[in-house]
Chain A
């Protein structure tokens, strides 16, 4: 158990809908990262928050947004969903924001868009 908690584990929704994925980082970790994993692309970085503030952005679509709350949990919001958004979404956390510390991953949310 990495200590990173993601909910829900599975989510099935229709095209055009909006969903929210939730992540609770390990105790003491200030950074939260969101990754998308699809069969053909591997793990792709979406966005990072550090202590409530956005720190870095990857290939995140404009339809997607995230935030980190004062208690350090984070939410990833996906809107106007398309079939291609079906993937595993992982949250990871680390102690620091920009150093070479290892990140620990949650068990993921499997999103299926039908």
Chain B
């Protein structure tokens, strides 16, 4: 069974204070690891897909990296508008591989 654990559950940062969110996973054959951003009461918004260890992707102040056991979402000089819940999900190649298995998310608050 695929499993995803995200830490910390919640993170408060001052504006401009860089940090990282962690996503640890166990999966039988990783097809892809996905990062989403979710604002309260809204649907998850796609950010990145990572496919293999060593891969990195960037978008504005966000950078996602992947190893064989975990992924990090680095946030550089965050702004208040980066406040949201960040969700990590994996897609494996075992039985039921078509869906995403999500972690419970990290709620990020960026204080001006």
**Cα separation A31 to B31 with both chains bound (whole Å):** 17
User: Does B43 sit at the interface, judged by CB under 8 A?
Assistant: yes
Q: Which residue of the partner chain B has the closest CB to A55? A: B98
What total of A-B pairs shows CB separation below 8 Å? Answer: 66
Nearest chain A CB to B28 CB, angstrom units: 14
User: Does B65 sit at the interface, judged by CB under 8 A?
Assistant: no
**Cα separation A45 to B101 with both chains bound (whole Å):** 7
Nearest chain B CB to A63 CB, angstrom units: 20
Residues of A within 8 A of B41 (CB): 88, 108, 110
**Cα separation A103 to B32 with both chains bound (whole Å):** 12
A58 touches B43 (CB 8 A): no
**Cα separation A25 to B103 with both chains bound (whole Å):** 24
B91 touches A104 (CB 8 A): no
Q: Given that A42-B104, A102-B34 are contacting pairs, would A4 and B99 also be in contact in the complex, using a CB cutoff of 8 Å?
A: no
**Cα separation A111 to B96 with both chains bound (whole Å):** 26
User: Does B17 sit at the interface, judged by CB under 8 A?
Assistant: no
User: Does B13 sit at the interface, judged by CB under 8 A?
Assistant: no
Contact pick for B100, options A97, A99, A103, CB 8 Å: A103
Residues of A within 8 A of B42 (CB): 107-108
Nearest chain B CB to A57 CB, angstrom units: 8
Residues of B within 8 A of A110 (CB): 41
Residues of B within 8 A of A105 (CB): 36, 43-46
User: Does A68 sit at the interface, judged by CB under 8 A?
Assistant: no
User: Does B87 sit at the interface, judged by CB under 8 A?
Assistant: yes
Could you list 9 A-B pairs, sorted by A, with CB under 8 Å? A4-B43, A31-B98, A33-B98, A43-B102, A98-B98, A102-B49, A103-B100, A104-B46, A105-B43
Interface residues of B (CB under 8 A from A): 31-32, 34, 36, 41-46, 49, 51, 87, 89, 91, 96-105
Interface residues of A (CB under 8 A from B): 2, 4, 31, 33, 42-45, 48, 50, 55-58, 88, 90, 92, 97-108, 110
